[in-house]
Amino acid sequence: MLYIGVDLGTSAVKLLLMDEKGDIKKIVSKEYPLYFPHPGWSEQHPEDWFTQSVEGIKELTSECDKSQVAGISFGGQMHGLVILDKDDQVIRPAILWNDGRTTEETDYLNNEIGKETLSKYTANIAFTGFTAPKILWVKKNEPENFAKITKIMLPKDYLAYCLSGSFCSDYSDASGMLLMDVEHKCWSKEMMDICGVTEEQLPKLYESYEVVGSLKPEVAAELGLSENVKIIAGAGDNAAAAVGTGTVGDGRCNISLGTSGTIFISSANFGVDKNNALHSFAHADGHYHLMGCMLSAASCNKWWAEEILHTDDFAAEQKDITKLGENHVFYLPYLMGERSPHNDPYARATFTGMTMDTTRADMMQAVLEGVVFALRDSLEVAKSLGIKIERTKICGGGAKSPLWRKMIANIMNLKVDIIESEEGPALGGAILAAVGCGEYESVEAAADKLVKIVDTVEPEAELVEKYEKRYQEFRQIYPALKPVFPHIQ
């Protein structure tokens, strides 16, 4: 049988066709516009997602036996607000995850409702990107639109609704709305009251691998697929990507070195750190996960090489770095402020410790190490909750650097596993579709079978010891500079 994974991204939808053995048959991408109607705003038309997804599925299945397509599932951009009226018409463009208009609403939730109260209701605190502050923004600034709301949904759930007619979401994606009681996997009555919405306006919740419906007859006819094709709930993009890297089950870890950086830790049990330094969300495997997100990761390397050194030969800049664990230069990687674990928009990037004999290679090394030190800050929060981690997967553009992989292994004292096929949320979506159709008994069983490790970087005891000393020095720098940052904006 064949399974389709749909990765609904911010700039494009990526569709992947996979067979039951995990072999990827075809990948298709379709772009759509992104709109910035005011500075700091970010919107898209949900209708564009559906139109391009339909065209993408047609192209994806054009050369296969369409009768073999059994299921479709999703990984999608999180936190976006999609609102429909009583006639199922989109009321206004979707407000996306990277939209910054809700500063006032976020401050209201964190400061007046209170972070401790929010954490009790939802296991998280408010961020401008989350969905609940966007609902409050519409309520205040577009009351005529707020009054029309019949359905509130997330981006990928709009696709599921258009394909199947099922008004649904999954626990992992809904965790990022600040409307769900993550521990008990249900909508929070208190948060609904705060936002002025009812449970009838919110989708029915499912596990990510559960079947929510099947293709509507008219959609099946247009796609040339059977009406029996199952639609499976899917997951938020980070959880879907974690499925695609096999980061499921208890105590599994994945580090992503993309433009931003994430450390994603799957857990059998629910947990929240006392400072809400990490997001505490439900996971696509039926359990939970913790996630730390830093805003500048591989982008630090790109900035340093291209903007400062005026080169795009990243490998050449790294070849002279040989004395690992001995660098006296430190770099704070906060080019855009920081999210996890500091939640400090005023934080800025700095170099510390240069002397007259500091070299170009020392500076380059500091940038790479600084990113990993900052990711370790989030790892330490997870470890403080009793979570034991011995190894991690790695993905993202930065993961292609052997040097960076070696730094991660030794700074974090983890075995670093490199996987064969890194296709992110689209692969995770296809795996969820296979589980939903009964091909595998669980997400964990599917990931264990389909995700293949091709290499492992082992930590070296002597280097781990050197880096432990450097990390303890690094972690003193941000607290010392924190009072200064607000005054140098």
Average pLDDT of span 70-95? 97
- Specify the pLDDT at position 128: 86
Under DSSP, the state recorded for 274 is T
How far is Cα 10 from Cα 353, in angstroms, rounded to an integer? 39
423 pLDDT more than 90: no
259 pLDDT more than 90: no
Cis bond before residue 341 (omega within 30° of 0): yes
Average pLDDT of span 447-455? 94
- Specify the pLDDT at position 275: 86
- Specify the pLDDT at position 27: 97
Under DSSP, the state recorded for 62 is T
| Domains of the chain by residue range | 2-238, 247-421+459-489
How far is Cα 212 from Cα 322, in angstroms, rounded to an integer? 53
Fold match flag (2-238 vs 247-421+459-489)? yes
Is 237 designated active site?
yes
- Specify the pLDDT at position 422: 80
**Active-site residue among 157, 173, 237, 362?**
237
- Specify the pLDDT at position 194: 98
Average pLDDT of span 425-447? 97
Banded pLDDT at 421 (limits 50, 70, 90) = confident
Average pLDDT of span 100-116? 95
How far is Cα 382 from Cα 2, in angstroms, rounded to an integer? 37
How far is Cα 292 from Cα 98, in angstroms, rounded to an integer? 17
Look at residue 254 and give its three-state secondary structure: strand
Count CB neighbours of 120 within 10 A: 14
How far is Cα 274 from Cα 288, in angstroms, rounded to an integer? 17
How far is Cα 448 from Cα 441, in angstroms, rounded to an integer? 12
Interval 392-406: pLDDT, tens: 999 888 999 999 999
How far is Cα 182 from Cα 323, in angstroms, rounded to an integer? 45
Banded pLDDT at 339 (limits 50, 70, 90) = confident
Among residues 298, 376, 365, the alpha carbon closest in space to that of 325 is found at: 365
Q: Which residue's structure tokens are 């595998």?
A: 440
How far is Cα 158 from Cα 162, in angstroms, rounded to an integer? 6
Among residues 61, 10, 53, 50, the alpha carbon closest in space to that of 33 is found at: 10
Residue 436, C-beta contacts closer than 8 angstroms, at least 6 positions apart: 71, 73, 209, 210, 211, 230, 232, 233
CATH 3.30.420.40 fits 247-421+459-489, yes or no: yes
Count CB neighbours of 455 within 10 A: 11
- Specify the pLDDT at position 437: 98
Among residues 286, 256, 242, 291, the alpha carbon closest in space to that of 271 is found at: 291
- Specify the pLDDT at position 295: 85
Q: Are 10 and 96 in contact (CB under 8 A)?
A: yes
Interval 24-74: pLDDT, tens: 999 999 999 999 999 889 999 999 999 999 999 999 999 999 999 999 999
Dihedral over Cα of 203, 204, 206, 212: its sign: negative
Banded pLDDT at 258 (limits 50, 70, 90) = confident
Average pLDDT of span 348-367? 98
Residue 470, C-beta contacts closer than 8 angstroms, at least 6 positions apart: 325, 327, 330, 369, 373, 411
Q: What is the mean pLDDT of the chain?
A: 96
- CATH class name, domain 2-238: alpha beta
**C-alpha dihedral (421, 424, 426, 429), degrees to nearest 10:** 100
Was 78 annotated as part of a binding site? yes
Banded pLDDT at 343 (limits 50, 70, 90) = confident
